[in-house]
Structure formats: structure tokens, C-alpha cells
Amino acid sequence: MSFFSQHPLARQALDILDRRAQWSPTLEKIIARYDGAPEDLQLALKEQMEETLVDLASLIDRMPDAPIGLIMARRLSLLDCFYTRATKKGAAGSEFWNPLEESFPDFSEEGEDAHFYTASERFPASDIVKKWSKEHLQ
């Protein structure tokens, strides 16, 4: 079941922003990349995603000409999920999961135990998340 079918406020916010067709596939992809991660991380990500969209929808009322795409890219780069790391042992040593490039199930598909931990810096870094978001949120 999709994120937007389970979170009507997020879906309504996308409709207000007139971005459902453009943004929902990318936002669904981000959320799906955390499938199999600890449940509290998945829940927090969904809550933050919904809050972000509702905030942007309320902003558009006050500032109709606001650069919504740029603001969304910035807000995505600030999501707490990017503080969470997953590592596993690989042939060449430790491998780090990049949630912008692959899903957690793909990262851990070889049956290797992935270790989750929280870091003090985001990964990928905020500037990379912003750039990725700008490219994927048309």
C-alpha cells in the first residue's frame, strides 16, 4: 500500500501544491528505500514527510509564488532519516548504504547482517540530498 493512500493529509497537501503527479513517485521511492529498516525509523520518516508537505501547502497560501521545488529540496535534505547509517561487511571491508541510490532490502539482500547506527552528520550530506531532490522533483 502506498504512502499517499495511507496518509490522506500528505495526499491533500500534494493536491494543494498541484504536484501529485510530479512528486509522488519520487517521495514514494524515498520512503520505500527504508523498507526493512527499523520500524521506528520508517514511522518517523513518514511523519516527517507528511509534516513537510502540509507545511509547504500552508506556505503556498501565504506565498503563492514561492519556489516550492527549491523549498522541498531543502526540507528533504533536513530529514532525520539521513542521520541513520547502515553498514555491512563486504569483500573490500565495510560498505555503507546510500538511501538515495538503493533500497535497504537491496543493500542487505545477500543475507549479510546490516548494522544500524545514528551518526552526528547526515549521509548523504545535505548538499547532495538537495541536488538529488532538485533533479528528481520536477
Residue with cell 563486504: 90
pLDDT in tens, 48-94: 999 999 999 999 989 999 999 999 999 999 999 999 999 998 888 99
DSSP letter for 112, please: P
CA-angle at 30, arms to 26 and 34, nearest 5°: 155
- On whether the pTM is more than 0.85, the answer is yes
Q: Does the pLDDT at position 111 exceed 70?
A: no
Output the nine-digit C-alpha cell for 23: 512528486
Give which of 94, 97, 95 is closest to 86, Cα–Cα. 97
